[in-house]
Structure 1
Amino acid sequence: MSVVSLNKEKNVHTAEPTVNSAPAQPVVAVVIPLSTTATAATPSLQRRSTWAATTRPVFEWLLPPVIGLLVFGAIWATVAALTQGLPGPLKTWQSAVELFSDPFYINNPNDMGIGWNILSSLKRVATGFALAAMVGIPMGFVIGRYAFMSRMAAPIISLLKPVSPLAWLPIGLLVFKAADPAAIWVIFITAVWPMIINTAVGVSKVPQDYMNVAKVLNLSEWKVVTKILLPYVMPYMMTGVRLSIGAAWLVIVAAEMLTGGMGIGFWVWDEWNNLNVEHIIIAIFIVGIVGLLLEQLLVLVAKRYSYE
């Protein structure tokens, strides 16, 4: 046998695996404790993050309006300082505190508190608005439901809707022979158009498939209105109601300036005759705040009776 073959056999023999007789060493896990500084800082960081998550939405909701009011007050104070006779925010606030310290006093029929005037205007607006709703909403359903009625009413609405509400005041005075019904008439004619138009548009937008289902089920007209049309038309109708109440509250001030008697409009005109500019500015804020409250009330009603 050659030397080469001996070496190969030797290599093969030496290449066989050998069993290690030494026992396996156990694996030891080393636990390194966290530092006391990091452990103490973790609850503090959690409290900070919780506080930030809680207060951030409040600041995002509250801070922009506050900044806007401050900017508005600064502009108002600057204009008042440059304009003779125009009261600034501080003087107007002092007058408002004095005015609302007794808002329901009665000295005589021509000298009553601001509270009575606000209630008188709200009463007229509520009456005219209710009459407009009783007429405008059903008329909107009829116009939107039947094409013949829609074509018949279109020229009348197009002709009368652009007319200024105050242009109807002389007609009201002529027909009703009194200032109070004439003011209510102006509120009615102002509030009725948005209700008619928005309700009619909502009815016309109802999908034809819904009406086909009503025909298949042989539903009565009352069930078609209450079960199909009303749920679908509710958003359109409430939009018209909100537009109507806003326009009615704006118009009542001008109407009462012309008709006289009791009301926020007459009160503004009376304070102008007395050159009490602070009270005029206060009345402007009162009109804006009451209008905002009326609109928000209708928003809540719309959400309460929403079918979505």
Structure 2
Amino acid sequence: MPYFHVQCCLIILVALLQGALSITYNVTDLVPNTPGGIRFEKEIGVDYCIQEMGTINQFIYKLFDQENNPGDRRPQDFVQLYIDVHADNATAATQGNTINMSSIFIQDYDGDVKWGFTSILYHEMTHVFQWLPTDAPEGLIEGIADYTMLKANYFPPGRAKPGDGDSWDQGYDVTARFLEYCESLLQTFVAQLNKKMKDSYNDSYFVDLLGKPVDTLWKEYKEKYHHDPKDIDFPDVQIAVAQTIWILQGRFSYSGKSLAGDFLMKRANLHKDYKSQMLKDQVVMTSDQNIGEMIMSSNYFVIWLNMKLMLAEDLVHGERL
């Protein structure tokens, strides 16, 4: 059987039985003679793509708790993957059951391109099989797709860490991490959320599943990873910086620097339980606009320790050891 390179098209069909459904995967390289197309065929290959599309399909069914519930699945019997040059320079895009993967992305990918390609394929295949109500936040749709990458251990390096981001529906990696947190509260959260989104979307789904509004969940999520001192190891370097600041301010002599750390911790009541004390004082600190501005421009720990020192009743400015 000849390859259709003359027509710039390579098509291989496969049928994969999944319960009572038969899904056909079609992979077409539209640009086999370009650098990206050549690299695709050399380092990835159509056979690998077809195999992975079936594997990813099954993974998504499992993630959405649809392995034994075909009635909950978004109906699909055919998935088309194109390798092509994208006019808008997008890495990939999916519409309906058609995935377009950029040959430029493949050409320029630095590292294991098969791994990078597979990572993107997990994201795009999710769009084929997840429910897509028109009233759902785009950030949530993209976040669910990135969540699939995360659960499959194909989350690219440099993506959001737990607690990152500005809003729960920021999308992609940020929302994926938030969904990971929600899943820690309810093991089947993402599957149940996707099921609820079959016909429409409403923020109340978070209340239905987790008992709290999504904004409350986001706030608690941020506090867990960014504001809970129990998750933060107090860095020795910050104490050293604070010691130096106080010496320059005349609060300690240089010869007393070795004692400054102990003095600092005791005056700030931090010698035993400084973490919980810091949490209590956040409200006091952030209620002052100037302090808020300082937090934005300086190191939080140094500012907070200085505030504790200044608030200590028995501290006399200029006291020296």
Quick check: TM above 0.5? no
Structure with more strand by fraction: 2
Relative contact order: is structure 1 or structure 2 higher (C-alpha 8 Å, sep ≥ 6)? 1
Which has the higher Rg, Structure 1 or Structure 2? 1
With the length of structure 2 as denominator, give the TM-score of the two structures.
0.22
- Which has the larger share of helix? 1
| TM-score computed with the length of structure 1 as normaliser | 0.22
